[in-house]
Structure 1
Amino acid sequence: MACNRQINFYCRGSEGLWRVQGNKEPYEKDASFVGSSSSQCKCLEFSPSGETCAWCDGTSLKVYNVVENKLLHDIELSSVGYLTFSPSGSMLATWQVFTVKDKIPSRNMRIIDLTTGKEVASLIQKKAHQWAPQWSADEKICVRNYNNELQFFEENNFSEVKMKLHLQKVSDFSLAPNSMPYTVAAYVAGSKGLPSNVRVYQYPNIGGHGAAVASKSFFKAERVNLEWNSTGTAMLILTSTETSASSYYGEQGLHFLALNGDSCVVPLAKNGPVYSIAWHPSGTEFTVLYGYMPAKCTMFNLKNEAIFDFGTGPRNHVFYNPFGNILCLAGFGNLQGKLEFWDVKSQKLISEVSAKDSTYFGWAPDGCHAITATLSPRMRVGNGS
């Protein structure tokens, strides 16, 4: 890790979009970056490599190379609500609010080829929930959820749906982050006394009875988060309900599912909510924050064996740095903003700091620096003072 490198971070707010030269005072605005002065700058996203960013200022979509410090594309496209890049940064997907004008539905999701700046697809995607298409790591396939079916495209050709996965009430899906074999998990909500389930398929073998290579069924699930490990060999399924008999705030459950068919309920040693889960970047272990306050924190291996206990404390978020050698446990929201930094290998506490009223945490790419922030509209008073 090179901890002496210059780190820049980007801010979006009522004054527009600007870049700050970070990791040493006086943290001044970078005059070499021409961002936006528009208060309508509503979204900002970076490509996975960090070399490219895109934002919408209310009237146009701008794509910027942060390494060469130059504007790549200025595309006439207003009121973009969400953006996402493909893994290599070659494609950019945008979403706008779905509308119907003169009985003609708007094609509110667009995919732009960033090598040319040209739109290669315009599709209907009514709901903001799970609007984003998902690509395999090599971008050979792309999947989207449309009208409760999964549509598969190949080689970034969006004029032809190569295959469809029809499952009743598919509400969530997740494409594994690796390349071949292409693996997708689909969540089907339960109904009329039947359990909910997650089924895992390997493309292109997605049809017919018994096509699923792994599955996990469970009750008490109105929503799920599907979290793959980095190698695409196992996933965590965080289930939740709006309310339950034991809690006004609902109930959570955590399940483990592997491609080899192994599955279980993750054995948590304390009753209460599951606040946060995080896979180690290697994909060989994961950490869970759970239980009534003070929350307990445990690290597990792929056999779902507890391999380290971080004890209890006022924390509700867990973050690995990009290299997986440092773990941050944080207490945000109605907690006091305490941050604990742990050495993962030695399993020793490195330091503790306070970031009162924080609503955001992020690691810098160097794995040495981190940033906290108080963001609107989640915090209108206090403001870190």
Structure 2
Amino acid sequence: MASQFFLKTNKDIELFQGYPEFNECNHTSKDVQVISSVVSPCGRFLALSTKENIQVFCGANFETLLFETALVDVYDIKFSPSGNFLNTWERPSATDAEHQNVKVWFLNCEIDAASVTPVFQYKYKAQSNWALQYAKLDDFAVKQFPKELRIVKLDSRAPVFDFAKPFATLPADQDPADKNRKFTTYLVSPSEHPTICTFMPEKSGKPAQLTIWPVLEGKITKKIATKLFFKADSCQLKWNAQGNGILCLAITDFDSENKSYYGENTLYLLSFQGVNGTLGGNSVRVPLANGPVHDFTWAPTSRQFGVIAGYMPATVAFFDLRGNLVHQMTEQSKNTMLFSPSGNYILVGGFGNLQGAVEILDRHNKFKSVARFNAANTSVCMWSPGGEFIMTATTSPRLRVDNAVKIWHVSGNLVFVREFKELLKVAWRTPVPFKLQPGSSHIARDVHVESAAGEDLGLDPKCSKNQLSVHASVAEYVAAHPSRAAAAGGANGKGGAAAKPAGAYRPPHARRAGAGASTVPGMTAPRTVPGMTAPRTVPGMAPQAANGNANKTRRRKNNSNNAAGTSQENSPAPAPGTSAVSPEEKKLRSLLKKLRSIETLKQRQAAGDKLEDTQVLKIGTEDKVRAELQAVGWTGEQ
């Protein structure tokens, strides 16, 4: 692949070419420690900061120094979404109380390296939420003030950050009841017609408020969608790529049920249709398993999102844009979910205090597993821009031993490894999505993004599992660490985790989960009802009852066969991998499906959602459905 990636150590920055070369194309070494480094989202710039200065590089291999300026103690750097603005945060001065420690630099222009100056600067003491927020095309900037948000419109050629005369203002105290409240969290949507989502925590018995606002000139009073709820001291916000839906993870400091040290989690979904909500908005509470929310993320298509929630083993579930359940997997020890940039594949992994098991799912093939591998001690995991490779890394200070970066193919094969004594940061470089001015390596001619087709992202269509080129570093890594050979799924040319030897210890939950699995090579496991645990074939029915019905059916068939002069030995055997389902089992599955649908509607009704008349009538049939279930021998609970 053409996608590059960079690695940061204490004093070195190394840039590598992607698949299949994996050769080092640039190496920058400093005499002093590199405090912070970041690649712009557009892929045009690399910014570094030390205790003495900041440097910005551009070019095909970041070989060109765009400018360097003396700036002491820059501890954080952030780029705007289109990369036109660089924001730097310096440690507040102990001697100068009026020191303006946040500076904004404009990069999409011809820069005189000898006299570069910031286009805007202000004072901000905290190192959290210090940076301005920008719209997707860098044409709007938002800054928070004590009681309102101010929005300025920026000229792409000569931007002016005049927050004293803003383009629009968004007051927090629009309602007289909210006079002493303010926005604690806000996030600008990544759409060309931006909107802003704001959050106010509950206070003095008043519920928390989550609201989506359009960006309109003047004082903004129109609400696109809003949601009021309790149990929310803070929140995490995530927009989808189209900017018409946002997920809010509401977090409390304490768990009222005293089951968790980390408080309670609740997930809410706000969405709308049309530009700036012209076709209406919607707000729902996402139905999740009891327990903490480990991860939640949007699909690149913006029509689905995935959530990992519940006590370990956790539940992995996928929902549509209206919060309806699309697919749910069996419980497993996972806490990380990442959609590939193309949206074709989903990575589900268990990192941190889990074992590092990774599974790749095919979203277009009923979420079928296509590969498995083990990436133990992973602290960083991310897809390549083309969606064909996965980077996992063990970095310091999360772990100070076994620091390394590994790149895996989507088939589960390990294709590149590099070990470090101390690795601090890794990141992919996104291929530049803009058209650049002739003769310039950093000035975007226009702000519109080019087509994100696979070939534009550097995707190699000829690369497949059977033609995969594995770098020599993989063989060296396996030879140096024989005990980790099984974890490197591609070391032997076969993707997936290594099989356990016969007689190996298996924990009790694994024994139960595998009790009904087929032991005959080449034969698939017997069918089970989705969402239910093995070994029961029919959920909720005692094994004796299910076996009894099946035995009665067999006796009736045998009697008719014997009366016709046939024998059981001469009757054709069922095809391998298939299983006959009795009419009783079919009816039971249909009734259980209706009951699950009724339970989902009841949860939505309890959450305050408005149901259609047919859905209300469906809830009223619950007693009838349960009576029919008991009539066919259902003895358990849903």
Mapped contact 2:16–2:26 kept (Cα < 8 A): no
Mapped contact 1:131–1:144 kept (Cα < 8 A): no
Q: Distance in 2 between matches of 1:48 and 1:281?
A: 16
Shift, 1:292, TM fit: 0.7
Correspondence 1:128-143 to 2 at 5 A: 128-143=127-142
Mapped contact 2:356–2:378 kept (Cα < 8 A): yes
- The code of the aligned residue for 1:98 comes to P
Shift, 1:257, TM fit: 0.8
Corresponding position of 2:551: none
Shift, 1:92, TM fit: 0.9
1:59-89 CA-to-partner distances (Å, cap 9, x unmatched) read: 2111111425322121222221222222221
Q: Distance in 1 between matches of 2:312 and 2:403?
A: 24
Q: Distance in 1 between matches of 2:163 and 2:208?
A: 31
Corresponding position of 1:166: 171
- Give 5+ residue unaligned stretches, structure 2: 173-180, 273-279, 405-483, 485-638
Taking only aligned residues, the RMSD between alpha carbons, in angstroms, comes to 2.1
1:209-242 CA-to-partner distances (Å, cap 9, x unmatched) read: x522221122111221111111111110011123
Corresponding position of 2:390: 370
1:20-56 CA-to-partner distances (Å, cap 9, x unmatched) read: 344458x56x2x4242335521222222222222121
1:175-229 CA-to-partner distances (Å, cap 9, x unmatched) read: 011122x311111121111111112211126736x52222112211122111111
Residue 11 (structure 2) aligned to one of 11, 15, 38: 15
Q: For residues 221 and 36 of structure 1, do their structure 2 counterparts lie closer, same or farther at Cα, with a shift above 3 Å needed?
A: farther
Shift, 1:13, TM fit: 2.1
Residue 230 (structure 2) aligned to one of 213, 219, 237: 219
Shift, 1:382, TM fit: 6.1
Larger mean CA deviation between 188-197 and 210-219 belongs to: 210-219
Q: Distance in 2 between matches of 1:159 and 1:206?
A: 14
Correspondence 1:160-239 to 2 at 5 A: 160-161=163-164, 162=166, 163-167=168-172, 168-180=181-193, 182-204=194-216, 207=219, 211-239=222-250
Between Structure 1 and Structure 2, which shows a larger proportion of helix residues?
Answer: 2
Q: Distance in 2 between matches of 1:120 and 1:318?
A: 39
Residue 249 (structure 1) aligned to one of 262, 268, 273: 262
Q: Aligned with 2:354: secondary structure?
A: coil
Shift, 1:100, TM fit: 5.1
Mapped contact 1:173–1:187 kept (Cα < 8 A): yes
Mapped contact 2:356–2:377 kept (Cα < 8 A): yes
Corresponding position of 1:283: 302
Q: Aligned with 1:230: secondary structure?
A: coil
Residue 88 (structure 1) aligned to one of 70, 74, 82: 82
Mapped contact 1:289–1:318 kept (Cα < 8 A): yes
- 2:342 equivalent to 1:349: no
Q: For residues 326 and 145 of structure 1, do their structure 2 counterparts lie closer, same or farther at Cα, with a shift above 3 Å needed?
A: same
Shift, 1:165, TM fit: 2.4
- The code of the aligned residue for 2:298 comes to W
Q: Distance in 1 between matches of 2:15 and 2:299?
A: 30
Corresponding position of 1:72: 66
- The code of the aligned residue for 2:380 comes to Y
- The code of the aligned residue for 1:9 comes to F
1:108-134 CA-to-partner distances (Å, cap 9, x unmatched) read: 111101122531011122222211211
Mapped contact 1:148–1:171 kept (Cα < 8 A): no
Corresponding position of 1:124: 123
Give the structure-1-normalised TM-score: 0.91
Mapped contact 2:36–2:77 kept (Cα < 8 A): yes
Residue 379 (structure 2) aligned to one of 338, 341, 359: 359
- 2:105 equivalent to 1:112: yes
Q: For residues 356 and 39 of structure 1, do their structure 2 counterparts lie closer, same or farther at Cα, with a shift above 3 Å needed?
A: farther
Q: For residues 40 and 222 of structure 1, do their structure 2 counterparts lie closer, same or farther at Cα, with a shift above 3 Å needed?
A: farther
Q: Aligned with 1:225: secondary structure?
A: strand
Shift, 1:98, TM fit: 2.8
1:362-384 CA-to-partner distances (Å, cap 9, x unmatched) read: 11112111111111111235657
User: Relative CO higher for 1 or 2, CA cutoff 8 Å, sep ≥ 6?
Assistant: 2
Larger radius of gyration: 2
Q: Distance in 2 between matches of 1:355 and 1:248?
A: 27
Larger mean CA deviation between 68-77 and 283-292 belongs to: 68-77
Corresponding position of 1:293: 312
- 2:47 equivalent to 1:54: yes
- Give 5+ residue unaligned stretches, structure 1: none
Q: Aligned with 2:334: secondary structure?
A: coil
- The code of the aligned residue for 1:227 comes to K
Q: Distance in 1 between matches of 2:32 and 2:290?
A: 45
Between Structure 1 and Structure 2, which shows a larger proportion of strand residues?
Answer: 1
Mapped contact 1:36–1:57 kept (Cα < 8 A): no
Q: Aligned with 2:391: secondary structure?
A: strand
Corresponding position of 2:510: none
Corresponding position of 1:340: 359
1:280-308 CA-to-partner distances (Å, cap 9, x unmatched) read: 11111111111111111111111211112
Q: Aligned with 2:206: secondary structure?
A: coil
Mapped contact 2:84–2:138 kept (Cα < 8 A): no
